[in-house]
Structure 1
Amino acid sequence: MTAVSAGPRVMLGIADETGGPLVSAPWIGAFVSLGSRLRRYATQLDGRQLVVAISVPRRDYVAALVGSGWMLSSPAPQLAEPIDVFRAADRTTYLRAVTDRLIITGAFSSLEESRNDPRVLTGGKLLPVARYQAVAQLDGVVDRAVGNVPNPGYLAELMGASKDWAARLAAPSADMALVGTAKWLHEDLNAVIGDGAADGGQGTPMSAYVLPDDDRAATWSTPVVPAYRIGEGWELPETCLMAVLDRFGAIKLLNDITTPLVLCIVDRSVADESAAETIIEARHNNSRPVSIVDELRWRPPRTVEALAFTVAV
């Protein structure tokens, strides 16, 4: 897995929308790198929960950047050849199938192998089998949906994720959740990221990496959960390894989150110390310190403070 460096060779840029000029800053790459570092460290947890808190001047983009780093550093899924998946399917099977242009999700209908160019009807689309680059069987019933394959873009290429892009779209890692104000988190995910050092560089929406769970999406991975839903008893999926708690509305639920890893984003633009108090209280509860620099191998950018510790779950 490759971690992104914020050094001089790599300067990532962000724009609020596609086509906008990419604005570069070292902290962009640093937060992407944090997501990658956290995934790597997650394999070393010994049954305790890792809590990482970062205090930032403003919360904007941080959850989306960390989430992009987490997702792009996940192991590539190992999928069977598309024809083998289609042969094993029946009318009770639901698939996500990816061509060079389309993501098709829905019920499998039929496979025609008697012709020279075998065709498959799945998700309501009849296409030659040869067009499919990756196909994954889904666990449950899903509605039919068709979407366009997003360009992997500069960041996915940088982190080595573009070479298995179709497989990642067909079977993305479903092991992260974003908790906070859903509207703000979705706005951040719609921001585009790319090569900030290139004149006229084109960005890729961070939603293409994080894949927020959306009823209209053809592929999805990450639930974006309003904090109040957790307070009402809604539970994160069992597959979730990391929960990102964005601002105090989510951080106050820290004691209710049981994922192996929790990232708390403290927004200093808000004159409220409640989030920090909640984290410090957890820090004093039979915790063990973890060095951000020496153990997580991450160096916070300027103006960012960070704290990490483990607690019993």
Structure 2
Amino acid sequence: MLALGARVSRYAATHSGQQLIVALSVPRRDFAAALIASGWVMTRPAPTLAAPLDILRTAKRGVVVRVVTEREVILDRFTRFNQTTDPPRLHLSDTLWEATAIRAVAVIDGVERDFPRRMARPHLGAIGRIARLGNTWDTRLAAASVDLGIIGTCSWLRDDFDVFLSREGDECQLSKALVEDLARATERGTAYRVGFGHGSLLDVVLPEIPKASTAFTKVYASARLADQLPLPSVLRAVVLDGSGAINHLAEIETPVVVCILDRSVADETAAENIVQMRNTRGEPVSVRTDLGWRPPAGVEALAFTVAL
């Protein structure tokens, strides 16, 4: 499922003007949407940012910046950059940071309220190392683009995101900052959510939630989707998780749509809608040849394109 998310991302990058629809029939829907979304996010091109000091030297007072440090991601208004101190210091409306603590920074357009926002910096685990995201992770967090949507039952999706993924034999490697945070949490007797060497799907998918300072994905409840259509034009892909979401297929205009059909639910309406669209408007696409993906045991797949 991770590989499928990566394959449709690469396909979308080389094919324009058409909508790719991939339909999967799975024994149960559990984790499918979260894994496909993770594959999409990990394969998106990394943004190119100048060095933090170069950006801060030219930033204008009052602009919104997203700052990534070893422990946090902060979204706030830029106040000034003081280069007379050693080391130089970044002044935001709510905090002050030494330049040496800043891993990446980006000026963000289109955000006008709800400042400041702060969240713990997502830590890459095994899946991040598999995808070799380490060198670009901070710039991805700073200049995050929300180009993926997931439509389904929100409570089920939250449970799917809140799991850790690893591969056999992968050693646990903790950063110095995480070790210190764990020590403080232990002293206070408080719980600390951590996957050690594993990778949290939540930290990769990064759904957009209130007060989040960075995000990669929008999550919609299928039961209330009609009130939020049309979807934002910035979305490049949508995962429709279950029959309730797939019933909106004709109203989705993103370049990529992945439909997940749950065979444990006795409802064939969604499957019939997909087949009808393929037969009346679609051009077939080979899942194995054109997408380069082989469905695992127990999973059936078909793909086709329609004109946008």
Alignment of 1:90-109 (within 5 A): 90-109=60-79
**Structure 1 residues 120 and 263, CA gap change in structure 2 (3 angstroms):** same
Q: Specify the alignment match of 1:229 in structure 2.
A: 224
Q: Specify the alignment match of 2:135 in structure 1.
A: 163
Compute the displacement of 1:269 (Å).
0.7
Compute the displacement of 1:136 (Å).
1.0
Is 2:262 aligned against 1:267? yes
Q: Percent identity?
A: 40
Compute the displacement of 1:46 (Å).
3.4
Q: TM-score, normalised by structure 1?
A: 0.86
Compute the displacement of 1:198 (Å).
4.8
What CA distance in whole angstroms lies between the structure 2 residues aligned with 1:32 and 1:55? Answer: 16
Alignment of 1:78-89 (within 5 A): 78-89=48-59
Q: Specify the alignment match of 2:202 in structure 1.
A: 207
Q: Read off the aligned partner of 1:230 and give its amino acid letter.
A: L
Q: Specify the alignment match of 1:282 in structure 2.
A: 277
What CA distance in whole angstroms lies between the structure 1 residues aligned with 2:148 and 2:102? Answer: 27
Q: Read off the aligned partner of 1:184 and give its amino acid letter.
A: W
Match among 131, 147, 169 for residue 119 of structure 2: 147
**Deviates further, 215-224 or 196-205:** 196-205
Match among 179, 191, 197 for residue 151 of structure 2: 179
What CA distance in whole angstroms lies between the structure 2 residues aligned with 1:306 and 1:155? Answer: 24
What CA distance in whole angstroms lies between the structure 2 residues aligned with 1:123 and 1:276? Answer: 52
**Deviates further, 270-279 or 140-149:** 140-149
What CA distance in whole angstroms lies between the structure 2 residues aligned with 1:178 and 1:132? Answer: 32
**Deviates further, 142-151 or 106-115:** 142-151
Compute the displacement of 1:131 (Å).
1.1
Q: Specify the alignment match of 1:124 in structure 2.
A: 94
SS in 1 for 2:203: helix
Runs of 5+ unmatched residues, structure 1:
1-30
Q: Specify the alignment match of 1:243 in structure 2.
A: 238
What CA distance in whole angstroms lies between the structure 1 residues aligned with 2:232 and 2:163? Answer: 26
Q: Read off the aligned partner of 1:203 and give its amino acid letter.
A: H
Q: Deviations over 1:105-147 (max 9, x none)?
A: 1111121111221101125220111211111111122421112
SS in 1 for 2:135: helix
Q: Specify the alignment match of 2:292 in structure 1.
A: 297
Compute the displacement of 1:233 (Å).
4.3
Q: TM-score, normalised by structure 2?
A: 0.88
8 Å contact kept, 1:53–1:306: yes
What CA distance in whole angstroms lies between the structure 2 residues aligned with 1:175 and 1:237? Answer: 9
Runs of 5+ unmatched residues, structure 2:
173-195
What CA distance in whole angstroms lies between the structure 2 residues aligned with 1:75 and 1:108? Answer: 27
SS in 1 for 2:41: helix
SS in 1 for 2:25: strand
Compute the displacement of 1:96 (Å).
0.7
8 Å contact kept, 1:291–1:308: yes
Could you list the runs of 4 or more consecutive aligned residues of structure 1 that deviate by over 4 angstroms after TM superposition?
A: 197-201
**Structure 1 residues 237 and 283, CA gap change in structure 2 (3 angstroms):** same
Q: Specify the alignment match of 2:41 in structure 1.
A: 71
SS in 2 for 1:229: helix
What CA distance in whole angstroms lies between the structure 2 residues aligned with 1:232 and 1:178? Answer: 16
SS in 2 for 1:276: helix
RMSD between superposed Cα atoms in Å: 1.6
Compute the displacement of 1:212 (Å).
0.2
8 Å contact kept, 2:70–2:102: yes
Compute the displacement of 1:91 (Å).
3.2
Q: Read off the aligned partner of 1:224 and give its amino acid letter.
A: V
**Structure 1 residues 123 and 133, CA gap change in structure 2 (3 angstroms):** farther
SS in 2 for 1:80: coil
SS in 2 for 1:98: strand
8 Å contact kept, 1:97–1:104: yes
Compute the displacement of 1:181 (Å).
1.0
8 Å contact kept, 2:41–2:216: no
